[in-house]
Amino acid sequence: MVLLQIAEPGATAEVHGDRQIGVGIDLGTTNSLIAHFDGTDLRVLEDESGQASLPSVVYYGAKGTVVGTAAETYSSSEPANTIASAKRMLGRARAEFEDDPYVVLAEGEGLAFNTDAGSKTPVEVSSAILNELKLRAEPQLTGLIAGAVITVPAYFDDAQRQATRQAAELAGVKVLRLLNEPTAAAVAYGLDEHAEESSLLAVYDLGGGTFDISLLRMRAGLFEVLATGGDSALGGDDFDRALATYLLEQVALEAPNPVQRRIVLALARQAKEALTEVESVGVDVSALGARSAEVRVSRSTLDGLLAPFIERTLAACRMTLEDAGLETVDRVVLVGGSTRTPAVRQAVATCFGLEPLCSLDPDQVVAMGAARQADILVGNRQGDEALLLDVIPLSLGLETYGGLVERIIDRNSTIPVARAQEFTTARDGQTGLVVNVVQGERERVEDCRSLARFELTGIPPMVAGAARIEVTFRVDADGILEVAAVEQQTGARSEIVVKPAFGLDEAQITQMLKAGYEYASEDMLARKIGEARVEAEALLAGLQAALAADGDLLSGEETTELQRDMTALETVMKQNQPDEIRAATEVLGRASEAFAARRMDRSIQAALQGVALADLESAEAEENTP
């Protein structure tokens, strides 16, 4: 396997006399961090009060724009103006959150929050968080920030990654690369431990709003991602909401208002964190107007509430192991604040049969790994350099004639990656085509997700199958897809950077992966039928056109026999039996061979009409002259 040094396509990094400043940013659902590596020391930058984590909360109201801990103070008094967990909404559709009681949406079609300062999109909220991190870091560094590596969940799709980039651009932060969070954690662990022998590593990353599982092959300076899985809509927020719902049930509060919802969420989060250390805790619910001043919650009660969510993470782990062709790994690393929950740690240990590692702070390890990569990408190449081989989560391809999917890049292919494949036209005289880019694991277009469509025009009118169109898929180091189509004869070109309108719902991703396994036999049969029908339809169409143009070359009996075989093929096609369709196609093909030969003779005679024999002999002599 060829190892690729991470860099923007076409870019080169030079060694400078002075060190360039790169930072790593963990843009989290619950908390965000920024870290810097100066070649010797790796540190997470703290605020003036000594806090490393910046709560991913932004307030928009009469006090202006406030970010972080100060913004959290408005959560109960002004919940509509205080936006939290915006990361899980990046690049996603409004419809996914219209029924969410914890989200107050602005009027209109797009996904935005309704605040006193106007509607605010998840990109704007994330930009405010990134800007606050930049303002924190600049006074502590010796110069201007040359760029940042920003981490994203491995299962963020193209739209979610694009939204993250937009947030950074809005904050004035130059993005060196978007790095998958589990991979960043592996960078931190691998470089710190200087592992010399190749080993298999599972990174279980459960944050506030997202879950990732990545399997990597690791040794000093090399991290190859073998497979990824996860759920970009599952995390500690779901834990909090489950416990909050339980508390509301205990105090019989059936229709809480927005203020009460924020209060009970804060109480649930505090109780969840306390239960990591103690077996039971009393929750003061007096602020909810409850008759009882306290609800007692035990760790076993919390474990029961969290069990369905934890099982969803384990199901993703098992599927990812299967994707990588592995039964076990050598080490398991825990990342994300939600992994502090005892039930999570116990479930992970049982799933993998290993006691998970957590020697580095699970909240900070992602930012630390990102900082190491940023130091390399800005041109500081002294010491260890990590080579990262990330993968794409779902297969990419395009629609071909008959509604079939032709995969260009398979899922779990390492990135950056480029693949090209040659296609042709399906009909005579076709001068253009629509390229439908699809994503998924099924064989039929209707069972996959369409990412984008674009047109290629300017194809010379030729018989079906004569044109040569090369389609190239490129996925860069950030997982952004670019598709180009070029007609080889004329050079006509069309291309597109795939930017879907919104992110792929994680339930859809899971369903697509499961369906790829469950319906494999059915899909393969459908593909065989589709391919057989395409060949049969092309032969029938060609013969019908030939009979119309040169039917006089056949006798009446020959025409009848050929039409009989054509009718037989049409009848077989209705039965959807691929082997029978192919057999009938071969019968018709053999039956039409004599007709095709006569048509060829007529074409040659027409081409030679009026050409003197001497001219032909002269041309032949020239061809044979050395």
**Contact assessment for residue 23 and residue 32, using Cβ atoms and an 8 Å cutoff:** no
Q: Where are the alpha helices (DSSP H) in 551-592?
A: 556-573, 578-591
Q: Residue 22's closest CA among 375, 303, 287?
A: 375
Q: Is 149 helix (H, G, I), strand (E, B) or coil?
A: strand
* CA–CA distance, 356 with 331 (Å, rounded to integer): 7
Q: Which is the catalytic residue, given 157, 205, 323, 447?
A: 205
**Residue 120 among the catalytic residues:** no
**H or E element that contains 420:** strand 417-423
- Considering only CA atoms, which of 428, 395, 433, 390 is closest in space to residue 411? 395
Radius of gyration, CA atoms only, the chain: 31
For the chain, the structural domain boundaries read: 22-390, 396-518, 521-608
Name the catalytic one among 87, 120, 134, 272: 87
Supply angle C-alpha 223, 29, 478, rounded to 5. Answer: 40
Give yes or no: 26 in active site: yes
Residue entry with tokens 């090399």: 222
> What is the C-alpha to C-alpha distance for residues 389 and 397, in angstroms, rounded to an integer?
21
Q: Are 503 and 94 in contact (CB under 8 A)?
A: no
Cis peptide before 461 (omega within 30 of 0): no
Question: What residues are paired with 214 via a beta bridge?
Answer: 203, 228
- Please give the model's pTM, rounded to 2 decimal places: 0.57
181 is annotated as an active-site residue? yes
Say what the pLDDT of residue 622 is: 53
Task: Check if 396-518 and 521-608 are the same fold.
Answer: no
Instruction: Tell me phi and psi for residue 464, to 5 degrees.
Output: -55, 135
What number does CATH give the domain 396-518?
Answer: 2.60.34.10
Specify whether 205 is catalytic.
yes
Which CATH class name applies to 22-390?
alpha beta
Please give the CATH number for the structural domain made up of 521-608.
1.20.1270.10
CB-based contact 500:158 (threshold 8 Å) = yes
Can the peptide bond before residue 416 be classed as cis, meaning omega within 30 degrees of 0?
Answer: yes
Catalytic residue chosen out of the listed positions 181, 224, 363, 478: 181
Secondary structure percentages of the chain, helix, strand, coil, to 5: 40, 25, 35
Q: Which residues of the chain have pLDDT under 50?
A: 1-17, 191-193, 382-385, 499-506, 508-510, 512-513, 517, 623
